Chain A
């Protein structure tokens, strides 16, 4: 195995593009090193991106936030401006693994690893985040929901890597939230999860909404029907009920030791409703 720690994105892309065998990007390593240890992958090349300075930074810009691909979830949870603007994204990132894992793991890694149960991903989907991809043919930006294509599979092509995640600027009365169900109190994988982001008008009526669910389909899913069910409402009882119905309708989960199809389908509705209520309150709705 060859290990490289380039200092520029260009150099990283160059290494990945011309790699002959299997090449992997290393950020926090909390997925990659476990898979290497288990013998599931045997990389010929590992490209460590943590020496690329812009990838280590959280930048606040006029258009929102840019979170570098090598920023750890612990660092996200220490950034006050980010917490204020996107509390749901930050709380989701803060639920991944232990303190030890938090020190290293990244939301870009969580996204690229493409587990349907990834904690930060429903929150990123709900936030309308975009992934900044660098590759041999230059830069492109895609909606985060276009990255995971199946369990453990992402849409990146050979030589490409995600350099950063962009979160839009928050305007007016906005809020987001993420909730997951686990049978323990911490250190577990989501059985079902929900991320919700809302923007309200001056009267507290929901103008924009995005709802995403985790662990109920082969990938995290953006549920447009659930968002539609609450836009134009003040999140009253009827709206919440319709939100829950739309969330359940979007589920196509598996039966496994963590939860049955029936359980996951029901809990998806409950979590979507509760996350929406928290997001609504955070947005200043009453």
Chain B
């Protein structure tokens, strides 16, 4: 039986109905058309479905849609201001920190959460902070450089 859930996604009030066993990731992708978060493993290992809930980064595959009731969800779709990209998005492009792009939304959300808590992380802190995100294309180096560069821009 479907449950009615009311939540906030990227600043907008959103209501949706979902089955109790549906993951937040399935709700975002299949019911709300927010396909930025990707399903890689579906078991919380790869981080490609990373979103923020009340300011904390979580795997949307490891949360039920019904748990979103009353919480604030932020997805990669809410990262830019219209056509103006977030510094992390700009720097990922500049540093070519992606190839196939499947992991990228997750990396962006995890990196955003990291920099909000720690605006000037060391390389080691970045690597540990992003350890829950897997990338099989870049070898991670370009991602780390992009995050370092974005952090610099964001510190102003």
Which residues of A are in contact with B by a Cβ distance under 8 Å? 1-3, 5, 26, 28-30, 33-34, 36-38, 46, 48, 50, 72, 74, 97-101, 103-104, 186-187
Q: Which of B3, B43, B47, B58: most chain A Cβ within 10 A? A: B58
Q: How far is the CB of B68 from chain A (nearest CB, A)?
A: 11
Any A CB within 8 A of the CB of B21: yes
Interface size in chain B (residues, C-beta < 8 A): 30
Subset of 24 A-B contacts with CB under 8 Å: A5-B66, A28-B62, A29-B67, A30-B62, A33-B23, A33-B61, A33-B63, A34-B43, A34-B44, A34-B62, A36-B21, A37-B23, A48-B64, A48-B66, A74-B56, A97-B44, A98-B132, A98-B133, A100-B44, A100-B50, A100-B59, A101-B59, A101-B132, A186-B128
Q: Given A33, A36, A103, A187, which contacts B56 in the complex, CB threshold below 8 Å?
A: A103
Q: How far is the CB of B3 from chain A (nearest CB, A)?
A: 7
A37→B110 CA distance, assembly (Å): 23
- Residues on B with C-beta less than 8 A from A33 are 23, 44, 61-64
A104 touches B131 (CB 8 A): no
Any A CB within 8 A of the CB of B20: yes
Any A CB within 8 A of the CB of B72: no
Q: Given A3, A100, A187, which contacts B64 in the complex, CB threshold below 8 Å?
A: A3
- Residues on B with C-beta less than 8 A from A103 are 53, 56-58
Query: Would you list the 9 A-B pairs with minimal beta carbon distance, nearest first?
Result: A98-B132, A3-B20, A103-B56, A100-B59, A186-B131, A100-B132, A1-B21, A103-B58, A34-B43
* 14 more A-B residue pairs beyond the given contacts A33-B23, A46-B20, with a C-beta to C-beta distance below 8 A: A1-B21, A5-B69, A26-B67, A29-B62, A29-B67, A33-B61, A74-B56, A98-B47, A98-B133, A100-B47, A100-B110, A101-B44, A103-B58, A186-B128
Residues in B45-102 with C-beta less than 8 Å from chain A: 47, 50, 53, 56-59, 61-64, 66-67, 69
- Residues on A with C-beta less than 8 A from B121 are none
Any A CB within 8 A of the CB of B129: yes
A1→B42 CA distance, assembly (Å): 19
Contact with A along B1-23 (1 / 0, CB 8 A): 00100000000000000011101
A97 touches B23 (CB 8 A): no
- Give chain B's interface secondary structure class: mixed
A104/B132 contact (C-beta < 8 A), A1-B20, A98-B47 known:
no
- Residues on A with C-beta less than 8 A from B20 are 1-3, 46
- Residues on A with C-beta less than 8 A from B69 are 5
Q: How far is the CB of B146 from chain A (nearest CB, A)?
A: 18
- Residues on A with C-beta less than 8 A from B47 are 98, 100
Any A CB within 8 A of the CB of B27: no
Residues in B121-141 with C-beta less than 8 Å from chain A: 128-129, 131-133
- Residues on B with C-beta less than 8 A from A186 are 128, 131
A100 touches B58 (CB 8 A): yes
A72→B129 CA distance, assembly (Å): 17
B63 touches A29 (CB 8 A): yes
Q: How far is the CB of B1 from chain A (nearest CB, A)?
A: 8
A30→B132 CA distance, assembly (Å): 13
B57 touches A104 (CB 8 A): no
Q: Which of A26, A29, A34, A98: most chain B Cβ within 10 A? A: A98
- Residues on A with C-beta less than 8 A from B115 are none
A50→B3 CA distance, assembly (Å): 18
- Residues on A with C-beta less than 8 A from B64 are 3, 26, 29, 33, 46, 48
B62 touches A104 (CB 8 A): yes
